[in-house]
């Protein structure tokens, strides 16, 4: 499904490009240069924190409703080419643009053949991928205008209706599946791979081999839709356009082909003329003033990470879209420091890694996976209906430019364990309480599935990829979910309990597990929230 590019989209895209070309940190439609020079505002009717999925939906719907809205994002705008002529570096040759203020990259795959050949030394810089470490659990997140959409694999499945209703029983599933999921898919530009091309192209040989082994085991596979433009990918394969998914680009950004949020929701939001995006601005505190307005403290940095300003920004309506980690930290800090003391005790609870576990198998010499692999996964092993051991395992590429006989997977399991966050006053940050043993249910579930596959195909696990000779990567996630769960920390539409005008719109609403990759659901829930709030909660600019 191709997103419909309206005139407003195009206006917004133009504003993004101008801002990028001029190196601006404030992006709006009123001539980008003028927006940058306008006096720094200290008030906006609505402020949106972050620019990932939930935030982008909020910004667009507020802008369309005529509400002047400021979006504040701690990362930079990714829209201008570096010295190499590219916006993003490739996974194989990462540079400073790859990671958020690191001296060395920290790719999910630690080693290959136990060799430290994957990671590279880099200069600290506000790069696009961050890994937030909490002892036994590390969380990968995107940084920049577009949040996770800049770095993710684009997989855009809709959850099984039965499991969605199990996870969020109080949300009207008819409405979600009839209105909001279709709307989210359309707006995000979700599309399907051409099955005939999938069967014939060398770029998905790795997936076909994994499918063969799944079928030998009696397992079902399913195509997974994506927001990467599969039509563009076909043209890449034909040599007609510059390569991105076929050139190893994904976790450090895609230079082409991917419909990230800056090309969909955020462009449309800017195009309304009511939305301004401010970059390299981190929200470090929020309080409420005597007029009932929310006042944010923002810390601005430059590209070297130096603090260049601290200021306050007030608003009537505050929409938190800083992701599961970001939003939970902002609210937890506010509650624990006494700034917003009446926030629900449920803030900081109900967090989970969506049962994520990665694993890899070694194939027989005759089962080659191909030196050429598209970076966008397109197929999954779907054993979610196996009540005894539900697993949905996406068949992940490992594009190293050589034949390596490795089949890799990201398994999503139904791990019931949940983590909680506590506020640490010494570091002024949220700490996740999660013990490695809490991922055992996920490892056991993935193990049951892949033991079966290995037995049927007489293959073994790979032990050289994830460190410590481990066949399962159980210490990181790509899918942080929860922390401010819908119906617990908020009402059923993301309104923070105890604080009118304060809303949560991102992945922190989802209680730790979804059974599939989460961004379509986060987008659809945000659409549902914005419909309700704009209809029920009155005008945002009631005090000014």
Q: Mind telling me the catalytic residues?
A: 394, 479
153 binds ligand FAE (CB under 6 A): yes
- Under the binding rule (CB under 6 A), the answer on residue 419 touching ligand FAE is no
155 binding ligand FAE? (CB under 6 A): yes
Residue 232 vs 454, nearer CB to ligand FAE: 232
Cα 255 vs. chain centroid, distance in angstroms? 17
Among 28, 126, 300, 323, binds ligand FAE (CB under 6 A): 323
CA dist 193 → 81, 154, 226 (Å): 29, 12, 8
CA distances 202 to 91, 193, 365, 369, 384, Å, are: 20, 14, 17, 9, 29
Closer to ligand FAE at the Cβ: 272 or 324?
A: 324
Q: Is 454 in the site for ligand FAE (CB under 6 A)?
A: no
Distance between CA 510 and CA 166 in Å, rounded?
12
The residue (of 259 and 479) whose beta carbon lies closer to ligand FAE is 479
The dihedral region occupied by 63, where left means phi > 0, alpha psi between -120 and 50, and beta the remainder, is alpha
By CB under 6 A, name the one of 220, 234, 282, 452 that touches ligand FAE: 282
Q: Would you count residue 147 as binding ligand FAE (CB under 6 A)?
A: yes
Tokens in use for 511? 């209680």
3-state secondary structure of 410: strand
Closest to ligand FAE by CB, 151 vs 446, is: 151
Q: Does 333 bind ligand FAE (CB under 6 A)?
A: no
**Would you list the DSSP string of 206-219?**
HHHHHHHHHHHTT-
Q: Are 413 and 445 in contact (CB under 8 A)?
A: yes
Give the integer Cα–Cα distance in Å for 275 and 15: 11
Window 505 to 544, contacts with ligand FAE (CB under 6 A): 506-507, 517-519, 522
| Nearest alpha carbon to residue 162 among 526, 516, 517, 491 | 516
Of positions 283, 295, 445, 533, contacts ligand FAE by CB under 6 A: 283
Name 79's Cβ contacts closer than 8 Å, sequence gap at least 6.
Answer: 16, 17, 19, 20, 87, 145, 262
Q: How near is the Cβ of 71 to ligand FAE at its closest, in Å?
A: 9
Q: Does 140 bind ligand FAE (CB under 6 A)?
A: yes
Q: Is 478 in the site for ligand FAE (CB under 6 A)?
A: yes
Q: Give the one residue of 3, 12, 75, 512 binding ligand FAE; rule: CB under 6 A.
A: 75
CB 78 within 8 A of CB 88: yes
d(CA 41, CA 38): 8
Binding of residue 350 to ligand FAE (CB under 6 A): no
Applying CB under 6 A, the site for ligand FAE has a residue count of 39
Distances in Å between the Cα of 118 and the Cα atoms of 92, 110, 409, 475 are 8, 7, 18, 18
Q: Which residues contact 366 (CB under 8 A, 6 or more apart)?
A: none
151 binds ligand FAE per the rule CB under 6 A:
yes
Contact yes or no for 507/57 (Cβ under 8 A):
no
Interface segment toward ligand FAE; rule CB under 6 A; list 22-30, 152-160, 441-449, 491-499: 152-160
Residue 386 contacts residue 214 (beta carbons within 8 Å): no
Q: Give the 3-state secondary structure percentages of the chain, helix then strand then coil, rounded to 5.
A: 30, 25, 45
- Give the integer Cα–Cα distance in Å for 322 and 360: 32
- Is there a contact between 313 and 381 (Cβ–Cβ < 8 Å)? no
Among 28, 52, 471, 494, binds ligand FAE (CB under 6 A): 52
CA 67 to chain centre: 26
Among 68-76, 192-200, 423-431, 483-491, the segment contacting ligand FAE (CB under 6 A): 68-76
For residue 56, what are its two tokens? Answer: 């982008």
Q: Does 359 interact with ligand FAE (rule: CB under 6 A)? A: no
278 near ligand FAE, judged by CB under 6 A: no
One DSSP character per residue, 342-373 reads TS-TTTTEEEE-TTEEEEEEEPPTTS---S--
357 CB neighbour count, 10 Å cutoff = 29
Question: C-beta of 130: minimal distance to ligand FAE in Å?
Answer: 7
Closer to ligand FAE at the Cβ: 45 or 518? Answer: 518
Q: Is residue 122 near ligand FAE by the rule CB under 6 A? A: no
Cβ-based nearer residue to ligand FAE, 187 or 330: 330
Label residue 201 exposed, middle or buried (CB < 10 Å: 0-12, 13-18, 19+).
Answer: buried
Nearer to ligand FAE, 336 or 506 (CB): 506
Contact 506, 55 (CB under 8 A): yes
- Report if residue 379 touches ligand FAE, rule: CB under 6 A: no
Min. distance of Cβ 198 from ligand FAE in angstroms? 17
Q: Is 326 in the site for ligand FAE (CB under 6 A)?
A: yes
Minimum distance between the CB of residue 262 and ligand FAE, rounded to whole angstroms?
A: 11
Stretch in the footprint of ligand FAE (CB under 6 A) among 47-55, 265-273, 285-293, 459-467: 47-55
Residues paired with 109 in a beta bridge = none
The one among 73, 106, 262, 474 contacting ligand FAE by CB under 6 A: 73
Return the residue of 12, 50, 353, 511 that touches ligand FAE, per CB under 6 A.
50
Q: Which stretch binds ligand FAE (CB under 6 A): 82-90, 322-330, 366-374, 432-440?
A: 322-330
Contact pick of 28, 89, 257, 321 for ligand FAE (by CB under 6 A): 321
At its nearest, how many Å lie between ligand FAE and the CB of residue 281? 6
Residues 492, 488: Cα–Cα separation, whole Å:
8
Contact between 152 and ligand FAE per CB under 6 A: yes
Of 163 and 478, the one with the shorter C-beta distance to ligand FAE is: 478
Contact range with ligand FAE by CB under 6 A, out of 60-68, 69-77, 202-210, 228-236: 69-77
- Binding site residues, ligand FAE, CB under 6 A: 49-55, 72-75, 140-143, 147-148, 151-155, 251, 282-283, 321-324, 326, 330, 478-479, 506-507, 517-519, 522
């Amino acid at each position: 499904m191709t997103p419909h590019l309206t005139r407003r989209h195009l206006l917004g895209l133009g504003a993004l490009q101008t801002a990028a070309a001029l190196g601006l940190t404030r992006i709006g439609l009123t001539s980008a240069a003028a927006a940058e020079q306008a006096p720094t505002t200290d008030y906006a009717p609505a402020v949106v924190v972050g620019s990932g999925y939930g935030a982008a939906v909020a910004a667009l719907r507020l802008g369309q409703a005529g509400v002047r809205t400021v979006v504040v994002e701690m990362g930079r705008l990714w829209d201008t080419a570096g010295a190499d002529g590219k916006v993003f570096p490739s996974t194989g040759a990462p540079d400073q643009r790859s990671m958020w203020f690191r001296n060395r990259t920290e790719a999910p795959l630690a080693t290959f053949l136990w060799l430290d050949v994957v990671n590279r030394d880099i200069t600290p810089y506000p790069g696009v991928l961050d890994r937030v470490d909490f002892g036994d659990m590390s969380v990968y997140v995107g940084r920049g205008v577009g949040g996770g959409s800049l770095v993710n694999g684009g997989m855009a499945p809709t959850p099984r209706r039965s499991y969605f209703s199990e996870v969020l029983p109080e949300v009207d599933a008819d409405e979600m599946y009839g209105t909001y999921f279709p709307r989210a898919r359309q707006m995000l530009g979700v599309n399907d791979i051409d099955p005939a091309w999938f069967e014939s192209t060398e770029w998905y040989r790795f997936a076909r081999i994994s499918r063969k082994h799944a079928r030998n085991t009696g397992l079902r596979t399913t195509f997974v839709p994506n927001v990467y433009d599969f039509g563009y990918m076909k043209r890449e394969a034909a040599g007609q356009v510059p390569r991105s998914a076929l050139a190893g680009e994904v976790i450090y950004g895609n230079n082409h082909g991917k419909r990230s949020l800056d090309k969909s929701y955020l462009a449309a939001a800017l195009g309304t003329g009511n939305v301004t995006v401010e970059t390299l601005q981190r929200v470090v505190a929020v309080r409420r003033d005597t007029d009932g307005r929310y006042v944010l403290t923002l810390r601005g940095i430059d590209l070297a990470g130096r603090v260049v300003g601290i200021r306050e920004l007030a608003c009537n309506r505050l929409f938190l879209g800083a992701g599961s980690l970001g939003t939970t930290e902002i609210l937890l800090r506010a509650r624990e420091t006494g700034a917003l003391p009446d926030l629900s005790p449920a803030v900081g609870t109900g967090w989970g890694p969506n049962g994520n576990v990665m694993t890899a198998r070694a194939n027989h010499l005759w089962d080659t996976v191909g030196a050429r692999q598209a970076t966008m996964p397109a197929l999954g092993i779907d054993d979610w209906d196996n009540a005894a051991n539900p697993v949905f395992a996406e068949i992940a590429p490992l594009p190293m430019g050589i034949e390596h006989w490795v089949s890799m997977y990201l398994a999503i399991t139904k791990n019931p364990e949940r983590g909680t966050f506590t506020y640490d006053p010494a570091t002024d940050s949220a700490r996740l309480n999660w013990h490695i043993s809490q991922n055992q249910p996920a490892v056991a579930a993935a193990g049951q599935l892949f033991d079966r596959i290995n037995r049927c195909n007489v293959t073994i696990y790979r032990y050289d990829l994830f460190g410590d000779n481990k066949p399962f990567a159980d210490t990181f996630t790509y899918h942080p979910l929860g922390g401010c769960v819908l119906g617990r920390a908020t009402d059923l539409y993301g309104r923070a309990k105890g604080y009118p005008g304060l809303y949560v719109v991102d992945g922190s609403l989802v209680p730790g597990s979804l059974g599939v990759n989460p961004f379509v659901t986060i987008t659809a829930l945000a659409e549902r929230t914005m419909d309700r709030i704009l209809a029920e909660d009155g005008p945002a600019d009631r005090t000014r």
